[in-house]
Amino acid sequence: MKKLISFMLASLMVVLSACGNNASGGEGGAAEGPKDLVVALGSEPISLDPQDASDGISLHATELIFDKLVTFDKDMKIVPELAKEWSSSEDGKAWTFTLVEGAKFQDGTPVNAEAVKASFDRILDKNNKLKRRSLFADFIDNVSMDSEYKVTFHLKFPYAPILATLAHPNGGIHSPKNAAEKGKGVSKAPVGSGPYKFKEWISGEKLVLEANPDYWGEKPKLKSITIKPVVENAARTLMLETGEADVILPVPATDIERLKNSDQVAVNMYPSNRNLYMGMNTQKAPFDNVKVRQALNYAVDKETIVKKIMMGNAKPTQAAISELTWGFSPVGTYEYNPEKAKQLLAEAGVKPGTTIKLWTPEGRYLMDRQLSEFVQANLQAVGFQVEFRKWEWGAYQDAIDDPKSGYDLFLLSWAVPTNDADWGLRPNFSSDGTNNRTLFANAELDSLVDKGMKTTNEEERKKIYAEALKIIKEEAPWIFLVEMNQFIGVRKNVEGVYGSNTERLILREAVKK
């Protein structure tokens, strides 16, 4: 009996000791070490090559894997990253960057001037056919090494937003060793110098990034970050509420107010420079007629979209770029006027019952499918027969990248990661723009966009972009919809997660307690 009592007391002491340790560490306390963060997004990345990625979901991930020369801080100010200092020549056509010393890529190779040059040579080479080539190739002539840790960018002309453009996530620096070995395969097996490194990617299920223990900067506070694609709004919300996910994006508009009352979850709103729009194939009848494009703008009730679908969490766009983007000027929205829309359609010779196709992703943007269904109803109300199709994000991107796929109308958005009008307008509205899926072409606008990126005087640039925005509104290659806010759902035991004005989901400082 004495032995039995002694055994029971000893067992009780072990249990109490364990409970005490847990109480001191809290839920997921520091005693247990760094944790895994689970992030549920509305879709999955398409590419982990920052130089070949054109979608925001991919860039959420690449910003964890790759460092850039410079970056934006929380206040959208340019701050050092791999470059500790920089200077420009008197004529503004040469920019020299001095690199931090001792930084390494995740494969152990050094981050030096040779690596920076190799990374930019890769994207400047037109034979590589990388999606973000024009972001840099339009203004960079070449890159030279001055010393082991000093590199100079030689420009074709003085380019005002050079630092903002280098801070774009597409400016991530590759390991030259990995890029040479993998070629295009780096999109599935990337190596950068960032705080998290690639571990595995099971398409449709999860992307796992693990902490880089040899990171040259502030050490990551998590063991790993797992990104899961969850298309269904209700499923994403449930994962957050049950703790299956620590972070979700986007938060469904219908769930925002309810989640705000939770003692386990926080919903944080961040202003975004993302505009949501419905693009039109302007090379295809009837959208090759400007009256038809204007009619579609009059046909859509933006105020009801804001109030009923977005639940007040957006506002009608006042221009083709957001008011948060440098170079914005308000040119106004098209009023909701279905009778005006019918009049313009009649003048353009469009017969009632004309069939058009409307495509949308589901889960990529806040209430995207619901918004597209509302637009479908608006267009049917002015006489169109609208064929509706929803897509998985990756397949959707491929389809709208190919004009031969047969799209008429497509829901998409554009955030401006440089926060400068140049990259708001040049890719979308220049006749050779890399994101010009509307196939819109206007010689006067091309001239203004070209002039805007070659002008360094800020006041002159603003006037140029104001004129460009007026032309875009009048020509209406988009149905201009709403300017969005970004809502991020976060478990309350997670800190250091935030959104930027350029609508990046910033996870580098995240910690889970």
- Is the domain spanning 272-485 CATH 3.10.105.10? The answer is yes
Q: In 81-152, which residue ranges form alpha helices assigned H by DSSP?
A: 113-124, 133-137
What is the dotted CATH code of the domain comprising 37-42+190-270+486-512?
A: 3.40.190.10
C-alpha angle 267/361/296, rounded to 5°?
A: 105
Report the pLDDT value the prediction gives residue 54, as an integer from 0 to 100: 87
The rounded distance, in Å, linking the Cα atoms of 431 and 240 is 43
State the CB neighbour count (10 A cutoff) for residue 62. Answer: 23
Buried b (16+ CB within 10 A) or exposed e, 339-356: ebbbebbeebebeeeeeb
Question: Whole-structure pTM over 0.75, yes or no?
Answer: yes
Report the pLDDT value the prediction gives residue 39, as an integer from 0 to 100: 98
Domain locations in the chain? 37-42+190-270+486-512, 66-176, 272-485
Report the pLDDT value the prediction gives residue 7, as an integer from 0 to 100: 38
The domain 66-176 is placed in CATH, from the list 3.10.100.10, 3.40.50.200, 3.40.50.300, 3.90.76.10, at 3.90.76.10
Q: Collect all residues with Cβ–Cβ distance below 8 Å to 422 and sequence separation of at least 6.
A: 160, 161, 165, 327, 449, 452, 453
Report the pLDDT value the prediction gives residue 27, as an integer from 0 to 100: 41
Q: State pLDDT tens for residues 54-88.
A: 899 999 999 999 999 999 999 999 999 999 999 99
Along the 513 residues of the chain, how does pLDDT read in single tens digits?
344 344 343 443 333 344 443 333 334 444 478 999 999 999 999 999 999 998 999 999 999 999 999 999 999 999 999 999 999 999 999 999 999 999 999 999 999 999 999 999 999 999 999 999 999 999 999 999 999 999 999 999 999 999 999 999 999 999 999 999 999 999 999 999 999 999 999 999 999 999 999 999 999 999 999 999 999 999 999 999 999 999 999 999 999 999 999 999 999 999 999 999 999 999 999 999 999 999 999 999 999 999 999 999 899 999 999 999 999 999 999 999 999 999 999 999 999 999 999 999 998 998 999 999 999 999 999 999 999 999 999 999 999 999 889 999 999 999 999 999 999 999 999 999 999 999 999 999 999 999 999 999 999 999 999 999 999 999 999 999 999 899 999 999 999 999 999 989 999 999 999
The rounded distance, in Å, linking the Cα atoms of 117 and 103 is 16
The rounded distance, in Å, linking the Cα atoms of 393 and 387 is 19
SS3 (DSSP) at 110: strand
